[in-house]
Structure 1
């Protein structure tokens, strides 16, 4: 399979990884840029991206637990689906700023997973069988950068059956997303030569 991205040799969660994320737009930024993130505004994200790298990012207890549970969730996903995936960072060949830290990408790049390990996410997804709207931009960003037609949204909470939701690529949404991300990145780099 031909890809339009390169693998970036970074360990997720490290200082180098945080610096790399700061120098571009990642999947977790997408919903904010689209105005779909009730937890953060586009102007707040712009201020962060234009500022210095924050190496001490805030994580509440739920976020820390989610990060801790992710390897366990990935292992169960592999056992359940047979898709051998590993966490990787990717960067677009076309747009240097277009990046993603993937929870899991198969070695031949034909399957990608987004993992959510939180009690509230699990409860919501298991009841509605849909992904929360504030994750939609994130998964479409991942599909845009990988070029794949679908993504496995894997929701995990210990002692409960995992929930697997295939999410299809939405071309019209991706067109709007890329347009907005490009505009956003121009604002980040405007009058800021160190950011280009």
Structure 2
């Protein structure tokens, strides 16, 4: 079995199909999963990772009885190779080549999924190994709106991904090269942090053992995915009452957050109104390095009241009924 630094190559990926690659990734927590598990990924939640992973577990989970997951469409959480991912993979070669041109450092493909016996729950898919260094290169492609953030530092969810990879590989450092808006290449160097590695991998281990292997849903995280999952599991309410656990501090905090939300929403609206009052009838304005637009938009909408009045039978024919549960607190 081939090795890379402290890691073994558990799967050869050079001749893998997309489907085989996705299937292999379900066998552990990957680098891009790590920040989701820890709650730092703005694009993906821990519940999404959980539902992706349990599709491949061999524990014969009775989903009808356990948390009711079978009542929702798990395929909506099934990891797939998207167009964006494919584009990123194609541009990876370009980014790696530009990294070498800018730094003089040679890189090479590993063509494998990496594992480390110290972290049996974790996987790594590094983009390139840096020749002559105990380091790897991660290639990223992002839009121009992220330029300011990337110029300063690597976004936190990617820092966690790099920490995950350094834990598995034993690398002392890594490089992150980001192609921003197809116009600029930014390169950052991240050093190994043992304390951070310990925290990240401990949390990943807990998630894998307690949630994936332990057949237990992750804690609520405020994501839309979690709300959709709950609506899917408990979509039909029954006319019975339940006395919940006593936790006055939770309700107090909820009331406090509601008030804060109102205040923040009002302040946001006030700032918008101030800018609009300065823009008057101008369509575009600039404030520092920020571009602001206030454009006239024409929108066609259906006059449902008139349609129902004049053609009631037509409305009834195309009427669609949907069911959802409405959450209120008094």
Same fold (TM over 0.5): yes
Q: 1:139-150 residue pairs with structure 2 within 5 A? A: 139-150=162-173
In 2, Cα distance between the equivalents of 1:63 and 1:123? 20
Per-residue CA deviations over 1:35-67 (Å, capped at 9, x if unaligned) read 11122221221122112497761625x444322
Matching residue of 1:4? 6
Q: Which has the larger radius of gyration?
A: 2
CA deviations over 1:65-118 (Å, ceiling 9, x no partner): 322211111122223332222253211133333211111113566220111112
**What is the rounded CA distance, in whole Å, between the counterparts of 2:100 and 2:109 in structure 1?**
10
Q: State the TM-score, normalizing by the size of structure 2.
A: 0.51
Q: Does 1:68 align with 2:68?
A: no
Bigger Cα displacement from structure 2, 36-45 vs 76-85: 76-85
Label 1:134 to 1:19 Cα distance change in 2 as closer, same or farther (>3 A): same
Cα distance, 1:111–1:121 mapped onto 2, change above 3 Å: farther
Q: What CA RMSD, in Å, does the superposition of the two structures yield over aligned residues?
A: 2.8
> 1:59 and 1:76, CA in 2 relative to 1: closer, same or farther beyond 3 A?
same
Structure 2 counterpart of 1:83, from 106, 116, 130: 106
Alignment of 1:41-60 (within 5 A): 41-52=45-56, 57=80, 59=82
For residue 31 of structure 1, the aligned residue among 21, 35, 38 is 35
TM-score by length of 1: 0.82
SS of 1:156's partner is: strand
SS of match in other structure, 1:102: coil
Aligned-partner SS, 2:196: helix
How has the CA–CA distance of structure 1 residues 2 and 39 changed in structure 2, closer, same or farther, with 3 Å as cutoff?
A: closer
* Larger RCO of the pair (alpha carbons < 8 Å, separation 6+): 1
